[in-house]
Amino acid sequence: MSLVFLLSMLLLTACGGAETAVSATEPAFTDPPTARPDTTTAVSLDFSTFVRGGDSATFREHTFDSAGNVVLIGMGDFQPGRFPGVPVKTFGNLDDSNIIVAKLSADGAQLLWVTLLGGNGGGISGTFSGLEKGAYGLAVDQHDDVYVAGTTHSIDFPTTPGAWDTTPNNALGSDGADAFLFKLSADGQRLLYSTFLGGSDSETARGGLAIDSQGNAYVVGSTKSADFLDEGGVPNPAKVNSFIGGVGDSFIVKVSPDGSGIVYARYLGSPNDTNNGGNALGVRVDAQGQAYIAAHEFAGGAVTTDGSQFNGGMDLYVVKLSANGQQLLYATYFGGSDVEVVAKRPALDAAGNFYVVGSTTSPDFPALNAHQSSHGGGADGYLVKFNAGGQPVLATYIGGSADDDAWGPALDSAGNMFVSGRTLSGNFETTADAYDASHNGNWDAFLQVYSPAGALLYSTLFGGGAADEARFVNVDGAGNPVLAGSTQSGSFPTTAGAYDTGFNGPWDAFVTQFDMGQSAPNAINSVNLTGPTAGSVQVSYAFQADVLPGTADQPITYTWEATGKTPVVKVGGLTSRVSFKWTHPGDYTVKVTAENAAGAISSSQAFSVLVFTNTIYLPIARSLWSRQPVRAGCQLLLRCP
């Protein structure tokens, strides 16, 4: 509601002891508001589809191309004949466990193309449960070309002439493995390059891949090879350091845009690592080419820049490297006394904040500004946010009384954090607007959204009666999350018109996009304008606008307009103040318009001022401002500008 006040101000003067008086009247009327109503639309599914597999099928990662289509990678019993009407390209010798790269239309209705890569001598991914073999890292460049990194046991894994390394480096097909990197054309038809990345022992690339604006690819993983990337016994000059030791080291490799060379490579980790050694599982690269790496370590002794120490079990280890890979800009341990597992894809924002998720069994995980500060039980998911200097600024548990695993995360344009995963917990926390608040049995997939400060904004379960897991989440330009993973549930929710609504089993991959039902912004219901009050004799007036309700969404922009004055625009909160000054008598109007994302509301104030052009000295007994007595003989000067 808008209020208009008519304030008539009459300055009466007389010589020889007359008083100065101010009188006012305030009739009001209401302008119809232009803001749209504050409504909320329930969260729903934009689309949800199966992608048929066979004995085993899962998607491990996905992203978007320039048109908003969903690019996916996965592994399992994918065969050319299972995609009728879809262009399918194959590379290598397919068996019962192959890599899939696929592109799904932005509306989920059509599978645009499928590429399958395979090899024998142990197969691409071995057994489905041996999650260390297959495609894990994915990136898409500005030309929509697709980069994929992973691990292979196959001696005949498809490579291309001129690539960095076309020869397997160890006894593949047994216990040996090499990392790989390949680049695929935007239509999935051409293998632009494909290379091994390895040494004489074993390597895995079980997660991380990033690209920079020049097309350099950054691959992270683990190696047991002191001669990693060496050629013919000659150390590779691109390696920044030597093998650190222990059972194995983490690594990062920067590969040239054409796949023919190594720009730099670096070992990371502790010389005391036991078990499988250090393992780098996620990487992101900023606009300066600096790499951010998420790994886990089994022991102390890894280099840190902040004096942090190993906490026990297995810890998160986070590193930021200079653009040439030579310097550790920061390196830190983070965790509790038990085990912290790192999920395979972190997130990075423009300010250099680095986001890592995973799972922990530590009852003393160092929660900070947490939504959930206590261990729920079993393995809980976690979310940690590190600032640009590598200090943790947010860390929270995610989970209920049973086991929970968190994957992701992803960020929207407002900095909200999206986390996906799976849960066995019947008491997993959901919000009132959840798509599905009930645990459906076995593992359920979940989706959560946190504010930049860590408040839980949204949480839902989804799935069928058997096992479901949402491996990763990405957010499209409209702020809607897309999840991909695998399911054993014939009752997994699908939508009409989606590519494949029939369960094929026993494991199917799936892709699901949520419509978050973006609520209408909290509208401004009224703006109250206050100006000169009775008793004022000044001709420079201060005005204040107050927006109601106090829950109106910010930012709010105030546009102030006054008779004879240039408009003043201010961006502020629920209150705005401004002053105007007039030098001549007349009728004046001040109008303020307050606007937020929901719409605009205006309020006006009209008043008349009679301004005397001469200087008058008035002997008075009381001050007009203080209403307090003054000394006899004092005079008050009213000088009109």
Distance CA 169, CA 103 (A): 32
Q: Which DSSP helix (H) or strand (E) runs through 311?
A: none
Cα separations (Å) of 418 from 225, 350, 401, 475, 484? Answer: 36, 17, 22, 8, 14
pLDDT number for residue 124: 43
Q: Which DSSP helix (H) or strand (E) runs through 503?
A: none
Closest CA to 359 of 343, 381, 378, 339: 381
* Structure-token pair, residue 371: 């939504």
Distance CA 308, CA 474 (A): 32
* Mean pLDDT, the chain cut into blocks of 10 residues (641 residues total): 30 30 27 29 85 76 95 89 93 89 97 92 40 79 96 90 90 72 98 95 88 97 93 91 91 98 96 82 96 94 95 95 98 96 91 96 96 95 97 96 94 92 96 92 94 92 93 90 93 95 88 80 80 56 82 80 83 82 80 82 80 45 42 38 38
The CB-side HSE value for 476 (13 A sphere, CA atoms) comes to 22
Domains of the chain: 5-38+524-609 (2.60.40.10), 44-515 (2.130.10.10)
Find tokens 């001669």 and name the residue.
227
Query: What does residue 80 show for φ and ψ, rounded to 5 degrees?
Result: -55, -35
Q: Say how far residue 36 (Cα) sits from the centre of its chain.
A: 28
Strands in 205-345 per DSSP E: 209-211, 217-223, 249-255, 262-268, 279-285, 291-297, 315-321, 328-334, 340-342
pLDDT number for residue 169: 83
Check residue 313 and give left, alpha or beta (phi > 0: left; psi -120 to 50: alpha): left
Distance CA 581, CA 122 (A): 85
How many helices and strands, by DSSP H and E, does the chain display?
Answer: 0, 41
DSSP state for residue 374 in the 8-state scheme? S
Distance CA 313, CA 361 (A): 9
Q: CB under 8 Å to 479, separation ≥6 — which residues?
A: 412, 413, 414, 516, 518
Instruction: Report the SS3 class of residue 80.
Output: helix
Distance CA 58, CA 484 (A): 8
Q: Are 251 and 155 spatial neighbours (Cβ–Cβ below 8 Å)? A: no
- Neighbouring-strand partners of residue 571: 557
CB-based burial label for 405 (10 Å; 0-12, 13-18, 19+): buried
pTM of the model: 0.75
How many of the other CB atoms lie within 10 Å of CB of 40?
10
Residue type, 354: F
Query: What does residue 82 show for φ and ψ, rounded to 5 degrees?
Result: -90, 5
Residue type, 489: S
Q: CB under 8 Å to 14, separation ≥6 — which residues?
A: none
Distance CA 340, CA 383 (A): 11
